[in-house]
Amino acid sequence: MDLESLYQEVVIDHNRHPRNFGRLEPADRSAEGHNPLCGDDLLLTLRLERERISEMRFEGQGCAISTASASLMSEAVQGLELRAACTLLERFLKRVTDPAAEASPELGKLEALAGVRKFPGRVKCATLCWHTLKAALNGGERNVSTE
């Protein structure tokens, strides 16, 4: 359980230089995520085009894991059909929470976050943005909290 398995190069890089950081105005969908324990706050804004996520931005503050996760997620879901985004979302959540889940090529760069599985206290950092994305896509509950 070494530190490098949690903070892989990709993670450190996306924390240093978050991609798609910012806010879309106007946006078709948005949702906020909070992790009161760490004080993390996140705002996701999305634009949709014919059942596809055409653009996504995130802003807020968080640790390296939560920032990298949001940044990697934004790269992964832009351009995806909504159905495909939901599938990816479930696959990612399973990968980081289910010890039996194995690496899958569909996760691509997101696999770099799988190291959190061995750090129970940090899993929520990686999943916050994905739960927030779910809320945004469902368009229902717009305020997500890890607690």
Partner 1 sequence: MSSVARQPVAEGFDVERLRGDFPLLTRRVHDHPLVYLDNAATTQKPETVLRTLDDYYRNTNSNVHRGVHYLSELASAAYEQAREQLCALVNAASEREILFLRGTTEAINLVAGSYGGACLRPGDEVLITEMEHHANIVPWQLLRDRCGIRLRWVPINEHGDLIWEEYERFLEGPVRLVALTHLSNSLGTINPLRRVIQTAHAHGAVVLVDGAQAVPHLPVDVRALDCDFYAFSGHKMFGPTGIGVLYGRESLLEKMPPWQGGGDMIKAVSMEQTTFNDLPAKFEAGTPHIAGAIGLGRSAEFLAGLDRAAVLLHEQQLLESALAACKEIPGLRVIGEPHARGGLFSFVLEGVHAHDLGTFLDHRGIAVRTGHHCCMPVMRHFKIPATTRVSFALYNTLEEVQILARALLEAQRFFH
**Any contact of residue 10 with partner 1 (CB under 8 A)?**
no
- From 46-54, 75-83, 115-123, 129-137, give the range in contact with partner 1 by CB under 8 A: 115-123
**Any contact of residue 6 with partner 1 (CB under 8 A)?**
yes
CB of 111 to partner 1, least distance (A): 20
Beta strand extents in the chain (DSSP E only): 29-35, 40-49, 52-61, 143-145
Helix or strand or coil: residue 33? strand
* Cα–Cα distance, 61 to 57 (Å, whole number): 13
Q: Tokens 């059909």 — which residue?
A: 81
Beta-bridge mates of residue 15: none
Among 22, 23, 39, 49, binds partner 1 (CB under 8 A): 39
Please report, as ranges, the residues that interact with partner 1 according to CB under 8 A.
1-3, 6-7, 12, 15-16, 36-41, 61-65, 119, 121-122, 125
